[in-house]
């Protein structure tokens, strides 16, 4: 084991720092060197990120106890990160599922909207057809009314003509009756005169 590490320097904030106050000298090191490793581990944990088991400056191997502690810290952090990532993934899955459900609802509404739009277009076409039929029926009714009016006018004209003819015939009949009556009266008078003679 290299125990001359106390002579090396560690750069802290750009300035060299002696490790004599951190590491013990070889004469003070006991077997196994627990205190030295503990002091180095305390210093290492204070100034270096957790999880590193070897100093790039000192080349110092930390004891298995310190390595275990560092690995435990890293493991705990990794476990926490993994747990957080898992929670985030679950949340992302839930949000994705929610977005998919919303998208399905949007698609269903869009399809329903398309269906309703087609129904409206069909009703509009049917309305146009009915309107055309109504216009045709209206024209037909108007034509029938005109035809009926013409027929009424013709009937009225014919009735007037027939009435005039009947009146003329009646006048002629009356005149003939008067003549006949006068003739009869004249004949009776002549017969009476003849009888009186």
The backbone torsions φ and ψ at residue 12, rounded to the nearest 5 degrees and listed phi first, read -120, 115
Per-residue pLDDT of the chain (197 residues; tens, 9 = 90+): 343 443 344 433 444 444 444 444 444 444 444 444 455 555 555 555 555 444 444 444 444 444 445 556 666 777 788 888 888 888 888 988 989 999 999 999 999 999 999 999 999 999 899 989 888 888 888 888 888 888 888 888 887 788 888 888 888 888 877 777 777 777 667 666 666 66
Q: Where are the domains of the chain?
A: 4-62
pTM recorded for the entire structure = 0.34
């Amino acid at each position: 084991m290299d125990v001359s590490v106390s002579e090396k320097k560690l750069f802290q904030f750009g300035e060299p720092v002696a490790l004599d106050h951190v590491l013990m000298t070889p004469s003070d090191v006991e077997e196994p060197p627990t205190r030295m490793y503990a002091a180095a581990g305390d210093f290492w944990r204070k100034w270096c990120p957790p999880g590193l088991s070897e100093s790039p400056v000192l080349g110092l191997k930390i004891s298995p106890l310190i390595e275990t502690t560092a690995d435990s810290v890293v493991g705990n952090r990794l476990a926490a990160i993994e747990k957080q990532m898992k929670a985030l993934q679950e949340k992302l899955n839930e949000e994705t599922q929610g977005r998919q459900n919303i998208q399905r609802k949007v698609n269903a509404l869009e399809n329903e909207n398309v269906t309703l739009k087609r129904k409206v277009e069909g009703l509009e076409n049917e309305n146009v057809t009915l309107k055309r039929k109504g216009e045709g029926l209206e024209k037909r009714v108007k034509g029938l009314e005109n035809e009926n009016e013409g027929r009424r006018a013709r009937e009225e004209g014919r009735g007037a003509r027939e009435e005039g003819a009947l009146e003329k015939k009646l006048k002629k009949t009356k005149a003939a009756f008067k003549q006949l009556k006068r003739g009869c009266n004249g004949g009776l008078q002549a017969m009476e005169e003849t009888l009186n003679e």
